[in-house]
Structure 1
Amino acid sequence: MLTRLSYRINTAIGRFLPEQRLFLKSDTDTRFIRLQPMTQAAALVGGALVLGWTILATSILLMDSIAAGSGRDQAQRQQILYEARLNALSADRDLRAEEAARAQERFNLALTEVSQMQGRLLASEDRRRELETGIDVIQETLRRTIKERDTARGESASFAAALRDETGSAKTGEGRARDAEATLEILAGALAGTAEQRDSMALVAMSARDEVESISNEKRQLEARNNVIFAKLEEAVTVSMEPLDKMFRSAGMSPDDMLRTVRRGYSGQGGPLGPFTMSTSGSNVLSPDEVRANAILQGLDRMNLYRLAAFKSPFAMPVKGNFRFTSGFGYRRDPKGAGTRMHSGTDMAGPHGMAILATADGVVTYAGYNSGYGRHIKIRHEFGIETSYAHLSNIRVSVGQKVSRGDRIGDMGSSGRSTGTHLHYEVRIGDKPVNPMTFIKAATDVF
């Protein structure tokens, strides 16, 4: 009776304080001390009582120490505060005196600068007077020169009139010859400039033809390179897409339905890429290169959706390290002799305490003790998929917690209906169990 009651109490407390084992290793063997949930609870209660008594005793001693203060201590404290106040006032006075000294220095410096500016102002005034005197002299000289020029023009006009009266022309023969020579020089210069301009235009035309030919060659080379790049991109997208399609179809999932679900969830952040267009003529008709570019972008968008869907689906191993598969999915002989039973998951045996990892992003829907499953965790994923992890020794998540692929959610153990340390891993789609190895093998073939 007492043993059964103790077992029930240990089971009830074990939900909050799971059984712990303290391993003691020597040169020859390894032993462990088992800490039952009742033992842990008793230790916690005792520790809490000791801590409470310590806090209470400390509070009483502190209150006695405060109440035992004498008037002399208070007077000393007041004197210390008064001296500190005096020191602060003295420091403030010294600071104000130092600021006044700095202000006096700035005032003296300003006076020096004002005196220097006054000296420069007087010097500039003297310079201005000298310049005004010089300007007056220059103006007087200019007026005298203008008068002399006007007088010379008048004399020249009178001489020209006298010459015209005598010869019938104001120009001499020598002057007409000089005029003709000047005219010929002007015409020859104009013709030479025209010829030079013609030769320059011819060179420019030849250079333009060469440049057009070079641009045409570069355009043809660029089109050839673009064709090669487009072909490689199209081949890369096709080669990358086929394994992803095969992976999801091998897992019994419709890629089109799955991608539509992901696109709805990511329509505002990371959804389809916008169309690629390079037309500047205002026409809505896309060129062949633009059509190929849009097809490549749509393929890249589909690959991005596949990547998001892969992280939301259990295409990963729940354990990493040294382990082995001990039982597969399907009908088998019950390990405890209960006949032939359906085994709805895959068993993976490894060392006690081995990390159990979430195989996809999701939300924890169950985390606790579940009869034959022992310590059990269920995670709900997208697309109606649920994964299950059973026979754990420790649970590290709680219901409602969001987890990501690769997060540690528990430790491997042998709780519940188990014959040894291992992980029982299940995958369900629409509450129907499927073979987890389908997902694991599909991911192994791709990643």
Structure 2
Amino acid sequence: MHRPIVIKIRAMFERAFPEQRLFLRSDTETRFIRLSPMTQFVGVTGSALLLGWTIISSAMLLMHSLGAGDLKQQALRDQAIYEQRLNQLAAERDARALEASQAQERFAIALSEVSAMQSRLLASEDRLKELETGIDVVAATLRDTMKDRDEARDQVAALRAELDQNESDEPDARRMADLETTLGMLSAALGDLAGQRDAMQETVSEAELALDRIALDSRLEAERNERIFTQIEDAVASSLVPIDEMFSAVGLPTDSILEQVRRSYSGQGGPLTPITFSTSGDAEIDEVTARANDVLGQLDELNLYRIAAQKLPFGFPVRGYYRSTSGFGQRWGRMHEGHDWAGATGTPIHATADGVVVHAGRQSGYGNLIKIKHDFGFETRYAHLSKIRVKVGQRVSRGDRIGDMGNTGRSTGTHLHYEVRVGGKPVNPLKYIKAARDVF
């Protein structure tokens, strides 16, 4: 049964691929090669498969090349957008730093204004007290003078009555002379008293005018103080709100941190001591004093915030031209515990907060590494450096240059690997950098 099928298949091959002969002629002889139907079928099939494989491979390579080109162009566009955004953030950060510096200058001016205002108010109060005392003395003297005048008038009236009575009696020349002398003395005394009274009245009038001027000056001073207080309060609020939001954005225990800073600086005192505008000695605080003390309290809180911010890694570690290459999180199946910025070899690297250098040297995959210990359990790390510019035990401030960008350790190119650790555990550094971009 199988044989007829084989015969039919062979017949089909012979009809489709009839036997061919390939003649090869030379100078001496002629030869030929017989190409059977099966041989022709195998050759045609192999050629078709080879041609199909070539077409499919070329198409796959072309599609892969086009796809890779699109992905590369998209990656380049994303990188350009990201770098542009980083430059914008850097410009915004610089603008906020300038605004913070200007706000601090305004605070210094405001403090000097408050001090000058206190001095003027104390001087006005002393002048008012002196004038009140002078008016009391003038009033007492005037009362005594008027009393003496009245007594002198009574004596003059009595003497005149006695003189009139004596004129009707027998004249006594001696007694008349005494009476005239006494009358002359009393008249002179009355004239002096009248002059003193006029002088006292003039003094009282001048004192009243002075009091009116002092009252006007006090009103003008109060209006000026109101404007000053309003400007200071607005400036404090505009600076205190962003820095408070910065601490809240990173989830820090603000009250605990400020209390630690306050205890650390509790023995220093300074211009933020509560003030008193009254010299009367009573314990009651007036509205102006309470308001001034409230402003000083806010300035004191702002100062504590500023001190705390200097000790926390809110700064940016790279200066110059750079680009972000790798963020915090999982990378190639492993945890990347920091953030990477690439740049040229030697790009300046700066401390992001005040602290003490606890490591400055090589450490396995980190290469040249700097570790800085900060307050409140924070630590920052700066890896793959080409040069280290600090030593162990050295105290550094935020913004100090501590090293240069490099390619040491387990690194595939020149970059900085920057870490922030809290209690020994790594956290995302960008959380602190982004929180501070509107403040510093």
Q: Distance in 1 between matches of 2:238 and 2:423?
A: 31
Give the TM-score, by structure 1 length: 0.55
Identity percentage of aligned residues: 56
**AA partner of residue 330 (structure 1):** G
1:21 corresponds to which residue? none
What CA distance in whole angstroms lies between the structure 2 residues aligned with 1:293 and 1:348?
Answer: 47
Instruction: Quickly say closer, same or farther: Cα 1:185–1:197, change in 2 above 3 A.
Output: same
Cα distance change, pair 285–265 in 1 and its aligned pair in 2 (3 A): same
Equivalent-residue separation in structure 2 for 1:324 and 1:418 (angstroms) = 16
Q: Distance in 2 between matches of 1:288 and 1:438?
A: 42
Normalization by structure 2: what TM-score? 0.56
In structure 1, what is the equivalent of residue 410 of structure 2? 417
Tell me the secondary structure at the aligned position of residue 446 of structure 1: coil
- Report Cα offsets for 1:200-231 as digits up to 9, x if no partner: 22222222222222222222222232233223
Contact 1:263 1:271 in 2 (8 A): no
Equivalent in the alignment of 1:445: 438
Letter in 2 for 1:438: K
Look up the match of 1:216.
215
User: In structure 1, what is the equivalent of residue 163 of structure 2?
Assistant: none
What is the SS of the residue equivalent to 1:317?
coil
1:408 aligned partner: 401
- The question of 1:358 aligning with 2:351 is answered yes
Please list the CA deviations of residues 149-192 of structure 1 after superposition, one character each: whole Å capped at 9, or x if unmatched. xxxxxxxxxxxxxxxxxxxxxxxx99999999877765554443
1:176/1:242 Cα in 2 relative to 1: closer, same or farther (>3 Å)? same
Unaligned segments of structure 2, at least 5 residues: 1-171
Letter in 2 for 1:283: D
295-304 vs 181-190, which moves further: 181-190
Spell out, residue by residue over 1:353-398, the C-alpha distance to the aligned partner (whole angstroms, 9 max, x if none): 2222111111122222222211111111011111111111122223
Distance (whole Å) between structure 2 residues aligned to residue 292 and residue 192 of structure 1 = 56
Q: Which amino acid aligns with 2:266?
A: S
Equivalent AA in structure 2 for residue 195 of structure 1: A
Q: Could you tell me which residue of structure 2 aligns to residue 292 of structure 1?
A: 291
Amino acid across the alignment from 1:414: N
Kindly state the Cα deviation for residue 330 of structure 1 after the two structures are TM-superposed: 2.2
Partners in 2 of 1:206 and 1:263 — Cα distance?
Answer: 55
The C-alpha deviation readout for 1:13-60, integer Å capped at 9, x for no partner, is xxxxxxxxxxxxxxxxxxxxxxxxxxxxxxxxxxxxxxxxxxxxxxxx
Change in Cα spacing, 1:392 to 1:443, as seen in structure 2 (3 Å) is: same
Aligned to 2:193: 194
Whole-angstrom distance in 2 between the partners of 1:376 and 1:183: 111
* Structure 1 unaligned blocks of 5 or more: 1-172, 333-338
For 1:249, the aligned partner's letter is S
Q: Provide the residue aligned with 1:242 in structure 2.
A: 241
| Pick aligned residue for 1:346 from 339, 344, 347 | 339
- Matched to 2:300, the amino acid is D
**CA separation of 1:194 and 1:365: change in aligned 2, threshold 3 A:** closer
Q: What is the aligned partner in structure 2 of residue 14 from structure 1?
A: none
Aligned to 2:127: none
- Contact kept? 2:407, 2:415, Cα under 8 Å: yes
- Alpha-carbon RMSD across the aligned residues, in angstroms, is 2.7
**What displacement does 1:312 show?**
0.8
Where 2:268 maps in the other structure, the secondary structure is: coil
For residue 320 of structure 1, report the CA deviation from its aligned partner: 1.0
| Residue number in structure 1 paired with 2:93 | none
AA matched with 2:323:
R
* 8 Å CA contact 2:320, 2:348 repeated in 1: no
Q: CA offset at residue 290 of structure 1?
A: 1.9
Equivalence for 1:388: 381
- Ranked by relative contact order (alpha carbons within 8 Å, sequence separation 6 or more), the top structure is 2
Amino acid at match of 2:202: L
